[in-house]
Amino acid sequence: MKKGLFFLLGILLLLGISSKNNKKLESPKEETRGIYISYIEISNHLKEKKEEESKEKIKEMIENVNNLSLNTIILQVRPSCDAIYPSSLFPISKYLTEEETYPYDVLEYFIEESHKKKIKLYAWINPYRVSTTNEKIKENSPVYSYQNTDILYEKEGIYLNPAREETTALILEGVKEVLNYKVDGILFDDYFYPSDEIDKKEYEDAKKENENLSLSEFHLSIVNEMIEKVHNLCKKKKIPFGVSPEGNIENNYEKNYADVKKWLSSNNYVDFMMPQLYYGFENGVKPFIPTSKEWSDLGKEEIPLYPVLAFYKVGKIDSYAKEGKEEWLVNDNIIGKEIIHLRSLKNYQGFILYRYDSIFTESQFTNMSQKELKNLKKILKSPFYLL
């Protein structure tokens, strides 16, 4: 009997060793190397272009991304309450055209051409913003009928009230529409609460049930509920969902009401996180190394971090960096060194560059950007595999 038991234990042990070895034999995973293409690039390169010219520009952009050895594009498909694709919900984006239609489906073409180069494409959505100005809302906008109601906040821009059911319903329907495309991920940016006044009525109603509820707790719970619903929606389609919050963790709680600690400590909210680490090593407020470690220490290892790096600052004064404000002005290898440092973090799985025009559009070049790019290429010429 004992011999049989020892034999069985031996078999189980061998199976365990075999299983571990098989894991080691799995193909190594290459780091994600991404770049943001924002509404600014869409407007600069595609607005009011004829179909052939517009498509050629997209091909050129994708080719530039590919030649830099990047493998992921973060494309802003819904800059505000609009769309760069034919939508049954939203008007066509003003960043593409002032007309009611654009000659073709920009999102579909971006996906097709990116995938030909084996480049992933993540759809970047701004959930609450209707407009950065108080411009006239188009009649075919889903929020046109919400004017002069509590659903819209119209002051220094126009925003949907996060505490209203109508808002969450519209966000979910908008995500569903994008999920009909062959996107490789869905991303929300860091714009959540533009003002503490946006949902005063809803907060007062909530306090009737819980008089000790703080405004901060209320706002965090509202955003958490929306993020969880979007995550569940994406999960059904097996498409990863994530958020790109502000790099300053305290600001996420004090201003934006993005509960990043909760999101990174649970499997219920995000599948990845892209914190905006727009800091240099000498930043007097948020120096890069301790700030990146702070993010790395926050969450579960199975939720990857793809930090976003500030190529747009290269060659410029960083006025918010205090004593480090001239760092980007006099150094030409900050981004490359940041990538090397990030690769040592436990849950690092890649990086994202902000943004396309800063790297590839001559009118945006600074006296340092081409030197910085040359040094970055040295880092990217060889693949980096994750353990």
Residue 74 falls inside a structural domain: yes
Q: How many residues does the chain have?
A: 387
Residue 17 falls inside a structural domain: no
* Residue 207: CATH number of its domain: 3.20.20.80
Farthest CA pair distance, the chain = 84
Look up the domain containing 59 and give its range: 30-127+165-386
Residue 135 falls inside a structural domain: no
Residue 283: which residues within 8 A CB-CB, separation 6 or more?
A: 291, 318, 321, 322, 324, 327
- The count of structural domains within the chain is 1
On the CB side of 75, CA atoms within 13 Å amount to: 29
Residue 239 falls inside a structural domain: yes
Q: What is the pLDDT of residue 26?
A: 60
Q: What is the pLDDT of residue 22?
A: 46
Q: What CA–CA distances, in Å, run from 345 to 135, 296, 305, 340, 380?
A: 44, 6, 9, 10, 18
What residues does 314 pair with on adjacent strands? none
Residue 21 falls inside a structural domain: no
**Contact between residue 296 and residue 340 where contact means Cβ atoms under 8 Å apart:** no
Where on the phi/psi map is residue 131: left (φ > 0), alpha (ψ -120 to 50), or beta?
beta
Where on the phi/psi map is residue 269: left (φ > 0), alpha (ψ -120 to 50), or beta?
alpha
Residue 380 falls inside a structural domain: yes
Residue 5: which residues within 8 A CB-CB, separation 6 or more?
A: none
Residue 383: which residues within 8 A CB-CB, separation 6 or more?
A: 30, 31, 69
Q: What angle do CA 102, 312, 96 make, to 5 degrees?
A: 5
Q: How far apart are CA 179 and CA 271, in angstroms?
A: 16
Q: How far apart are CA 109 and CA 200, in angstroms?
A: 42
Instruction: State pTM to two decimals.
Output: 0.93
Residue 282 falls inside a structural domain: yes
Residue 151 falls inside a structural domain: no
pLDDT along the chain (387 residues), means of 10: 43 44 63 98 98 98 98 98 98 97 98 98 97 93 96 94 98 98 97 92 97 97 98 98 98 96 96 98 98 92 94 97 98 98 95 98 95 98 93
